[in-house]
Amino acid sequence: MNKITHLVVLLLLVAAFQPGFAQVEKRAIGFHAIGGDLSFVKPENIDGGIGFEVKADIGDLMPNIALMPSVQYWQSSIGLGGLTAADVDVSEFSINGDLVYAFQTGTSSFEPYAGAGLGLVFTSVDVGGVSVGNDGSGFGLNLFGGAKIPVSSFDAFGEVRFRVGSSSYDTFAIKGGVMFPLN
């Protein structure tokens, strides 16, 4: 994780000194957009599963750096020897606070972004519908990048996200979703 942390710091420093950084106006704190996504989530050492997320864009802390809180849920199954994959279910619910840096491209038809944040993560492990006591909670570091494409009345986006250091499972996710502007 140390290498990942160094990479994130380096990317944020490069982004901060990107030409045109100071020319962008800061948006006020307030609800600017709401939306969500569907995702394929691949937890560490577990089969992939489906997830979803609901998020909000609540403005800029500084130019080009937006604050985006969200809630996320995913569920997957584990195959253990004689048990079928449906016998062991793992699910995770998280409350996240992410900072999103929007790269300036000079065009409004494709807007790449990168970000990082923290998530409060709650994990549940059930065998045959009964909790096995491996439930846990903890904090995870969110690292992600993607692009949004403005469409007439909403923004579509695609994203790749890693979460490391959470309660039980590091995760990789591929996401696709929409954000609806509120102004």
pLDDT 10s digits, 16-43: 545 444 456 778 888 999 999 999 999 8
Q: Using CA atoms, how far apart are residues 168 and 140, in angstroms rounded to an integer?
A: 10
Output the pLDDT for position 124.
83
More confidently predicted of 116 and 85: 116
| CATH hierarchy code of domain 2-181 | 2.40.160.20
pLDDT 10s digits, 147-169: 999 998 999 999 999 998 766 67
> For residue 106, what are the contacts with CB-CB under 8 A and spacing of at least 6?
none
Q: Which of 6-20, 33-47, 127-141 has the lowest mean pLDDT?
A: 6-20
pTM (two decimals) = 0.78
What is the residue extent of each domain of the chain?
2-181
Element (H or E) spanning 11, and its range? Answer: helix 2-16
Query: Can you read off the two tokens belonging to residue 53?
Result: 């997320």
Give me the phi and psi of 168, to 5 degrees please.
Answer: -135, -35
Give me the phi and psi of 11, to 5 degrees please.
Answer: -60, -40
C-alpha dist (Å) from residue 149 to 57, 65, 125, 153:
15, 18, 37, 11
Q: Residue type at 32?
A: H
pLDDT band at 178 (very low <50, low <70, confident <90, very high): very high
| Share of residues in the chain with pLDDT > 70 (%) | 76
Identity of the highest mean pLDDT range in 11-20, 67-76, 117-126, 130-139 = 67-76
Residue 8 has pLDDT above 90, yes or no: no
pLDDT 10s digits, 49-88: 999 999 999 999 888 899 999 999 999 877 665 555 456 7
> For residue 149, what are the contacts with CB-CB under 8 A and spacing of at least 6?
109, 110, 111, 155, 156, 157
Report the pLDDT averaged over residues 128-156.
84
Q: Using CA atoms, how far apart are residues 35 and 138, in angstroms rounded to an integer?
A: 25
